[in-house]
């Protein structure tokens, strides 16, 4: 009796499954330094526990891919559909976001069992046959969604640890064999006005809010060759920047008064010296490194104090494309470098990595944007109100997740993300 030869996965199947396994494994590597107690805590309503991130990213694959596509798939636990739904109201009422830290059950071991269950089913689905275009697109979306949560896992645990007065270390420093010394002189890059094509053409993966591509008319402008540094921002503080209402937008001044802010998040003073809390523990504030964990109000006030302004997101993208910045991706300070803090410029223009850069642009749909009619349509479109766009990625953004057209968005008051400043202005 001759047995049929086993099916050999196609190149597409092999690449998709390999990427799936790599990204899912990376999430668990990021969680490895944490205890079960660490993974339970939620330090503020905007953040989520690590345990929730581990479960929600699995919920995404189960809900949008396995349940509708894998014949005979067994749902791991029906209760998880509510517990780990983030904001997809068309799928039911999600558990209250500010109370995610109260979900002590399921325990951490059960969440990891959930991940194994989903991974096993996804491996079976992707190995059965050549995935069609729709399935491939959903898997790639799920993997990029997981990479967003990898970044959030680090920003959220950093915030949680920062509240602890013993300043716990997430991980010992690594990847910083030769930290850049000194400060790169800030230079102005002049960009000629004209009509620029903005947005992704959809040839490679992008989120729906990155398209459709459209034409944008820009005037001549200049943009800084590097990010604003800690030393430059410290000069703003010492000049009374947090005490001068004329520098601040009205909402920003109200935020400042309400929160009694007088320095960036995670900064503290000891014996007259500035320190900052990092994922590697407490460290001195180095003047040559990019300032980060600023909200939009702080970024705008600094730009006003400096006599300049923030770029629009269209200016930022036009400059990044004209400077051929994707060619610098390999040198960018991103997640894989394991620095997990912004570093001095060292000859890099820093458009990619280090810190997300605030723009002056409101987060709004591009002309012709239409969210899909299914539940996935809730991913981005419904948040296009009262938020600001950030560009460029940060030191905790995965390298194969960032791109020039990427539109991140946060509320103007939020500081826990790795967000900083690049100046722009008019050409005199």
Q: Note the pLDDT tens digit of each residue in 25-66.
A: 999 999 999 999 999 999 999 999 999 999 999 999 999 999
Tokens matching residue 215: 């034409």
- Residue 2: partners with Cβ closer than 8 Å, 6 or more residues away: none
Q: How far apart are CA 41 and CA 160, in angstroms?
A: 7
Q: How far apart are CA 157 and CA 144, in angstroms?
A: 20
Tokens matching residue 231: 């030393």
Encode 237-288 in three state secondary structure.
Answer: HHCCHHHCHHHCCHHHHHHHHHHCCCCCCCEEEECCEEEEEECCEEEECCCC
Total number of domains in the chain: 2
Q: How far apart are CA 413 and CA 255, in angstroms?
A: 7
Confidence at residue 3, expressed as pLDDT on a 0 to 100 scale: 40
Q: How far apart are CA 224 and CA 186, in angstroms?
A: 7
pLDDT-based confidence at residue 202 (cuts at 50, 70, 90)? confident
Instruction: Using DSSP, state whether 193 is helix, strand or coil.
Output: coil
159 lies in the same domain as 278:
no
pLDDT-based confidence at residue 172 (cuts at 50, 70, 90)? confident
* Residue 176: pLDDT over 60: no
Instruction: Using DSSP, state whether 197 is helix, strand or coil.
Output: strand
117 lies in the same domain as 198:
no
pLDDT-based confidence at residue 12 (cuts at 50, 70, 90)? confident
* Residue 324: pLDDT over 90: no
> Which strand (E) or helix (H) includes residue 151?
helix 133-163
260 lies in the same domain as 409:
yes
What is the mean predicted confidence (pLDDT) over 173-200?
Answer: 83
Q: pLDDT for 98-138, tens place per residue?
A: 999 999 999 999 999 999 999 999 999 999 888 999 999 99
- Is 77 part of any domain? yes
Confidence at residue 325, expressed as pLDDT on a 0 to 100 scale: 64
- Is 4 part of any domain? no
* CATH number of 277's domain: 3.90.1580.10
- Is 304 part of any domain? yes
Least confident segment among 229-238, 263-272, 376-385: 376-385
Confidence at residue 125, expressed as pLDDT on a 0 to 100 scale: 96
Please give the DSSP secondary-structure letter assigned to residue 9.
P
pLDDT-based confidence at residue 174 (cuts at 50, 70, 90)? low
Q: pLDDT for 290-301, tens place per residue?
A: 999 999 999 999
232 lies in the same domain as 375:
yes
335 lies in the same domain as 411:
yes
Least confident segment among 19-33, 104-118, 234-248, 347-361: 347-361
- Is 172 part of any domain? no
- Residue 392: partners with Cβ closer than 8 Å, 6 or more residues away: 316, 320, 350, 351, 352, 353, 354, 355, 356, 357, 402, 406
288 lies in the same domain as 400:
yes
123 lies in the same domain as 254:
no
Query: Burial of 287 by CB count in 10 Å (0-12 exposed, 13-18 middle, 19+ buried)?
Result: middle
Please give the DSSP secondary-structure letter assigned to residue 186.
P
Mean pLDDT of the residues in the chain? 93
Domain around 201: 188-425
Confidence at residue 145, expressed as pLDDT on a 0 to 100 scale: 98
23 lies in the same domain as 150:
yes
* Residue 309: pLDDT over 80: yes
- Is 414 part of any domain? yes
Please give the DSSP secondary-structure letter assigned to residue 218.
E
195: which strand partners?
A: 217
For the chain, give the percent of residues with pLDDT over 90. 85
Higher-confidence residue of 278 and 6: namely: 278
Higher-confidence residue of 58 and 177: namely: 58
281 lies in the same domain as 392:
yes
Encode 336-386 in three state secondary structure.
Answer: HHCCCCCCCCCCCCCCCECCEEEEEEECCCCCCCCCCCCHHHHCCHHHCCC
Encode 318-332 in three state secondary structure.
Answer: HHHHHCCHHHHHHHC
Q: How far apart are CA 167 and CA 32, in angstroms?
A: 19
116 lies in the same domain as 213:
no
Least confident segment among 14-28, 124-138, 177-191: 177-191
Confidence at residue 345, expressed as pLDDT on a 0 to 100 scale: 87
293 lies in the same domain as 214:
yes
- Is 183 part of any domain? no
What is the mean predicted confidence (pLDDT) over 329-337?
Answer: 90
- Is 268 part of any domain? yes
Check: CB of residue 420 under 8 Å from CB of residue 356: yes
pLDDT-based confidence at residue 6 (cuts at 50, 70, 90)? very low
* Residue 289: pLDDT over 60: yes
275 lies in the same domain as 127:
no
* Residue 356: pLDDT over 90: yes
Check: CB of residue 222 under 8 Å from CB of residue 426: yes
Q: How far apart are CA 279 and CA 373, in angstroms?
A: 40
């Amino acid at each position: 009796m001759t047995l049929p030869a086993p099916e050999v996965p196609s190149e597409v199947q092999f690449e998709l499954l390999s990427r799936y396994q790599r990204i899912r494994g990376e999430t668990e590597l990021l969680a490895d330094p944490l205890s079960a107690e660490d993974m339970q805590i939620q330090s503020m309503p905007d953040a989520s526990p690590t345990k929730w991130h581990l479960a929600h990213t699995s919920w995404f694959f189960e809900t949008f891919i396995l349940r509708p596509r894998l014949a005979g798939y067994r749902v791991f636990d029906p209760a998880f559909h509510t517990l780990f739904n983030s904001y997809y109201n068309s799928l039911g009422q999600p558990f209250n976001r500010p109370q995610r830290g109260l979900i002590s059950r399921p325990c951490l071991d059960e969440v990891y069992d959930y991940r194994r269950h989903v991974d096993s089913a996804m491996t079976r689905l992707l190995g059965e046959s050549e995935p069609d275009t729709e399935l491939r697109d959903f898997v790639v979306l799920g993997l990029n969604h997981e990479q967003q949560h990898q970044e959030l896992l680090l920003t959220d645990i950093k915030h949680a640890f920062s509240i602890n007065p013993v300043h716990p270390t997430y991980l010992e420093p690594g990847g910083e064999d030769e930290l850049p010394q000194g400060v790169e002189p800030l230079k102005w890059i002049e960009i000629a006005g004209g009509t620029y094509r903005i947005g992704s053409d959809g040839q490679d993966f992008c989120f729906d809010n990155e398209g459709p591509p459209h034409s944008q008319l820009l005037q001549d402008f200049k943009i800084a060759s590097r990010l604003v540094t800690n030393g430059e921002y410290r000069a703003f503080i010492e000049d009374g920047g947090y005490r001068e209402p004329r520098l601040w937008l009205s909402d920003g001044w109200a935020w400042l008064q309400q929160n009694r802010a007088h320095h960036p998040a995670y900064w503290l003073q000891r014996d007259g010296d500035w320190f900052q809390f990092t994922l590697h523990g407490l460290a001195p504030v180095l003047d040559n490194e990019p300032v980060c964990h600023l909200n939009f109000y702080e970024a705008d006030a600094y730009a006003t104090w400096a006599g300049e302004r923030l770029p629009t997101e269209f200016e930022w993208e036009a400059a990044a494309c004209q400077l051929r910045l994707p060619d610098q991706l390999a040198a960018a300070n991103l997640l894989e470098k394991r620095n997990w803090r912004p570093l001095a410029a060292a000859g890099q223009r820093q458009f990619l990595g280090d810190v997300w850069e605030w723009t002056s642009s409101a987060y709004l749909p591009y002309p012709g944007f239409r969210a899909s009619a299914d539940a996935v349509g809730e991913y981005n479109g419904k948040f296009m109100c009262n938020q600001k766009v950030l560009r460029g990625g940060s030191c905790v953004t995965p390298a194969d997740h960032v791109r020039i057209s990427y539109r991140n968005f946060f509320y103007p008051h939020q500081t826990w993300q790795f967000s900083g400043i690049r100046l722009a202005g008019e050409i005199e």
